[in-house]
Amino acid sequence: MRVGVLTGGGDCPGLNAVIRAVTKSLIHHGHCEVLGIEDGFEGLMLPVPRVRALGWDEVSGILHTGGTILGTSNSANPLRGDATVAQVRHNARELGLDMLVVIGGDGTMSLAYGLHQRIGLPCVGVPKTIDNDIANCDRSFGFDTAVATATEGLRRIESTAYSHHRVMIVETMGRHAGWLALESGIAAGADIILLPEIDFDVEIVAARCRQREQRQRYSIICIGEGAKESGTRQTMRERVAHSPEPLRLGGVANVLRERLAPHLQSEVRATVLGHLQRGGDPTAFDRVLATRFGHRAAQLVIEGATGRMVTLQRGEISSVPMSAVANVQRTVPLDHDLVTTARDIGICFGDQ
């Protein structure tokens, strides 16, 4: 059996741990050969596919390292046109792939599901995202590391806020899901947390900051990149020149700074954590979770259970159909216990 492995979408702590677990589990099972597909789906779309053999030695010593040894791409689309689909079909046959293990987020899962439908290439999925927004998955690897990084950033910002009596706004990633801002905000003791799921009122945010000006004389605001002000239709986006994705989420912290400053006596500053949240070595939790995911993916391959994605639900490793994950985003429910807890301990969400 020849099994391909690829990582798609943005990089994420724990990817190498999954690659290692998948490869070693399949080799340990026997009669399995593993090929690493380089640079995500792009490696399968080229006239000469980019692949490398993955043996026991090739994946040893990578458990704790960030990023992905295979490289990745968040713009490659193997379903872009009949010619591309035909090239991917040809490459898969020439490589002798019996199955493909795809590690990625909801977008990557939708592409894998599409390949399974269009060219009959059996796929098994492994959920990956620092945003924790994959449907039917309670927690994805990479999220714990990103929360730890964002929490440390918020805590470091607080010392400056305290010293200079400032309102400090810290923008996290997360797209249209607020899990990262919510958990890191609570962990860091933020005074205000602004989520994509809860439209905020600038005057309510300013009122909370004015209250703190009279007491603690500083405020920490944690805002998810997808958050938006009440009455607006979309979140802030930034233009990126020469990019396949010309409009990206980002910049809402700076807009909020401009909107807040006229209402406050305190100086207002904004910090965007950006890709710091994606990089670095995974936490112990993410290393273990990624290893469990990789092992379960290998079991699905051996069982021939194609068209399924590994998942964590209610503390147990299981799997769900890719069709239940493709192009679906898991956002923060307004009645989630973390939201209720935050409100009860005095955290403001910028709403009534």
| SS3 per residue for the chain | CEEEEEECCCCCCCHHHHHHHHHHHHHHHCCCEEEEECCCCHHHHCCCCCEEEECCCCCCCCCCCCCCCCCCCCCCCCCCCHHHHHHHHHHHHHHCCCEEEEEECHHHHHHHHHHHHHCCCCEEEEEECCCCCECCCCCCECHHHHHHHHHHHHHHHHHHHHHHCCEEEEEECCCCCCHHHHHHHHHHCCCEEECCCCCECHHHHHHHHHHHHHCCCCEEEEEECCCCECCCCCCCEEECCCCCCCEEECCHHHHHHHHHHHHCCCCEEEEECHHHHCCCCCCHHHHHHHHHHHHHHHHHHHHCCCCEEEEEECCEEEEEEHHHCCCCECCCCCCCHHHHHHHHCCCECCCC
For residues 98-105, give the mean pLDDT.
94
- Does 331 map to a domain? no
- Model confidence at 247: pLDDT above 70: no
- Binding residues for Mg(2+), by number, are 106
Contact indicator for 271, 168 with CB cutoff of 8 Å: yes
- Model confidence at 107: pLDDT above 70: yes
Q: Which among 240, 260, 278 is the end of a domain?
A: 278
Q: Are residues 157 and 242 in the same domain?
A: yes
- Binding residues for ATP, by number, are 10, 105-108
**Phi, psi angle pair for 306, to nearest 5°:** -85, 165
Q: Are residues 168 and 267 in the same domain?
A: yes
- Binding residues for substrate, by number, are 129-131, 166, 173-175, 225, 269, 275-278
Q: Are residues 9 and 131 in the same domain?
A: yes
Q: Are residues 10 and 113 in the same domain?
A: yes
- Does 306 map to a domain? yes
Q: What is the pLDDT of residues 146-174, one digit of tens each?
A: 999 999 999 999 999 988 999 999 999 99
Q: Enumerate the β-bridge partners of residue 29.
A: none
**Which pLDDT score is estimated for 248?**
67
The pTM of the full predicted model, rounded to 2 decimals, is 0.91
- Does 50 map to a domain? yes
Task: Name the 3-class secondary structure at 83.
Answer: helix
- Does 338 map to a domain? no
Q: Look up the CATH number of the domain holding residue 130.
A: 3.40.50.450
- Does 69 map to a domain? yes
Q: Are residues 31 and 124 in the same domain?
A: yes
Q: Are residues 150 and 134 in the same domain?
A: no
**Which pLDDT score is estimated for 27?**
94
Question: Which structural domain, as residue segments, surrounds residue 286?
Answer: 2-141+282-324
- Does 346 map to a domain? no
Q: Are residues 131 and 158 in the same domain?
A: no
- Does 351 map to a domain? no
Residues with active-site annotation: 131
**Domains: count for the chain:** 2
- Binding residues, by number, are 10, 105-108, 129-131, 166, 173-175, 225, 269, 275-278
Q: Are residues 24 and 77 in the same domain?
A: yes
Q: Are residues 17 and 122 in the same domain?
A: yes
For residues 263-275, give the mean pLDDT.
91
Q: What is the pLDDT of residues 222-232, one digit of tens each?
A: 999 999 988 87
Arithmetic mean of pLDDT over the chain: 91
**Which pLDDT score is estimated for 104?**
92
Q: Are residues 199 and 293 in the same domain?
A: no
For residues 243-268, give the mean pLDDT.
81
Q: Are residues 135 and 243 in the same domain?
A: no
**Which pLDDT score is estimated for 243?**
52
How is residue 305 annotated by DSSP? -
Contact indicator for 196, 182 with CB cutoff of 8 Å: no
The rounded distance, in Å, linking the Cα atoms of 70 and 285 is 22
For residues 91-95, give the mean pLDDT.
95
Q: Are residues 131 and 10 in the same domain?
A: yes
The rounded distance, in Å, linking the Cα atoms of 133 and 143 is 10
- Does 334 map to a domain? no
Q: Look up the CATH number of the domain holding residue 231.
A: 3.40.50.460
